[in-house]
Amino acid sequence: MVVLTNQKTLVRTDRIILQRLFIASAVVALSVFTIPLDLIESEEDLKHNPKFLRNSQPTSGSQWASKQNIVPYESKYHVVFSTGCSNFQDWQSYVFFYHVLQSGQEGHVTRIVSGCNESQKQELEGIFETEVASLAPGRFHLHHTPDYSRIKQRASYVYFNKPYGMRHWMEHVLGYPDPSEEQDDDIIMLLDPDQIIKRPFTAEFKREAEDWKTEPESLRVDHGSPFAQVYGFGLRWKTQIDLAYVFQNLSTPITSMTKSELEDYYHAMGPPFIATAKDMYSIVKVWSDVVPRVHDQFPQLLAEMYGYNLAAAHLGLRHMLAKSFMLSSVMTYRIEAWEKILDPLPTERICDKNLPQESYPHVLHFCQRYGVGKWFFNKKILPKTLLSCDGPLLQEPPYNLVDLYSSAIYPGVLNVIPLPMSRRRHESFMLCNVIRDLNLALVHYKQQHCASANYEYNLTFFENMTWVDNTTLVTT
């Protein structure tokens, strides 16, 4: 264990060999408190048996997909994202698939959808075949799993579906834990449904094309060398969690890691995650095991992300951490690559629709609220029927949005929010690009599936845009 903490003197090959041995020992140790899969007969076991609640894992059973549906993939790349069974995530999924094609992203793409009942499942499969799979026949896939959000009797947490759904997909589609050696070398890219791919991922990165938190040991996704985006929760995944409880009093190397090691390789990791299939499955097994106990102590939104960080660190899988995989939060100047990506752009090009692909991060993550003047965006208050023939398109901000306003006002909020120029540039970049990218996907949907359609760009977040425009201090 100590040797892995101080690997800088070893050549990379030796480090990977030691790391594989370390991962194997960690997984064996965890198996002490993991219920064997063949002892779990159904989803009900997870819901009603405390023993299973503590050690909830995917299983074979009458309600759960069997391995007879294993699909041999020809591409080594697998882009995967996890959703629930709702209209809200249906339109996000369509936008996701559409921009996979627009970006030139390689590989097969799978939506893991959890919690559909039988009628919902049949309806979604029909819609998927007609509207999504047809975009790229043979490349786009839908994988159903049970609803894991209620595996704990005391509370529901929808994001349990991400680790459990990933494990279900890897076991029932990729064939884990018994894949071929070639399958182990596949590259898994785990994203969120509200991430628009702008610049494609591969298994190799260029040092100068990215903004790295720490100088990466490797620029290639390989066994023992996964990658992730840096987020803003620091090391709270460790400091806010009782490790003894999470790992059931078994020893974990996390306790002996130095602060510099934690900061360099495990600092607030989040999606996009990129790893070999072998490493991703190792992480997913531990992740799905510990996340209910993480949620016991931290029953909040980020519990599943804390679980991923704990699993990766427990296995000693040092991540190469990038700032430029994603732009999302306009206030995270040091965590996301705002300076690298936006500083070279003159203000008049912030909303330019003809920017070259290298001017973007890999993904735009539209999980925040964005506002400049009367222009606003929040995915949560968009119509559930956004993806339709009759619904309007979103009204797009003007190209000179940055110059028009020095503050913002949000729906339902009376006070005006001052915006310094740097934040105004960030907000405008996200507003212009996210709204435009949603519209591109919606227009394509209408063109492909509607005999007649509404192409009016008049959907706004304020009923009266003129009133907002006249509000004190909004305009420059």
- Looking at residue 475, its pLDDT comes to 54
Specify the number of domains making up the chain: 2
Which ranges of the chain have pLDDT less than 70? 1-73, 154, 464-476
Backbone dihedral region of 230: left (phi > 0), alpha (psi from -120 to 50 degrees) or beta? beta
Q: Is residue 399 part of a domain?
A: yes
> 322, 307, 209, 221: which is closest to 264 by C-alpha?
322
- Looking at residue 468, its pLDDT comes to 59
Q: Do 16 and 144 have their domain in common? A: yes
Return contacts of 128-134, CB within 8 angstroms, 24+ apart: 130/449, 131/94, 131/445, 131/448, 131/449, 132/93, 132/94, 132/97, 134/448
- Looking at residue 440, its pLDDT comes to 99
Tokens representing residue 92 in the block? 């996000």
Query: How far from the centroid of its chain's Cα atoms is residue 25's Cα?
Result: 28
Q: Do 391 and 248 have their domain in common? A: no
- Residue 125 burial (C-beta neighbours within 10 Å; 0-12, 13-18, 19+): middle
Range of the domain at 417: 337-469
| Mutual angle of helices 277-297 and 161-172, in 10-degree steps | 150
Q: Is residue 329 part of a domain?
A: no
* HSE-CB for 407 with a 13 A CA cutoff: 15
Q: Do 34 and 172 have their domain in common? A: yes
- Looking at residue 360, its pLDDT comes to 97
Q: Do 410 and 433 have their domain in common? A: yes
Identify the bridge partners of residue 376 per DSSP, sorted by sequence position: 371
Q: Give the tens place of pLDDT for each residue, 361-374.
A: 999 999 999 999 99
Q: Is residue 420 part of a domain?
A: yes
- Write down the residue that tokens 């993939």 correspond to: 73
Q: Do 227 and 365 have their domain in common? A: no
- Write down the residue that tokens 């934690």 correspond to: 262
CATH number at residue 316: 3.90.550
Q: Do 173 and 301 have their domain in common? A: yes
- Looking at residue 466, its pLDDT comes to 65
Q: Do 349 and 312 have their domain in common? A: no
- Looking at residue 48, its pLDDT comes to 33
pLDDT mean across residues, the chain: 85
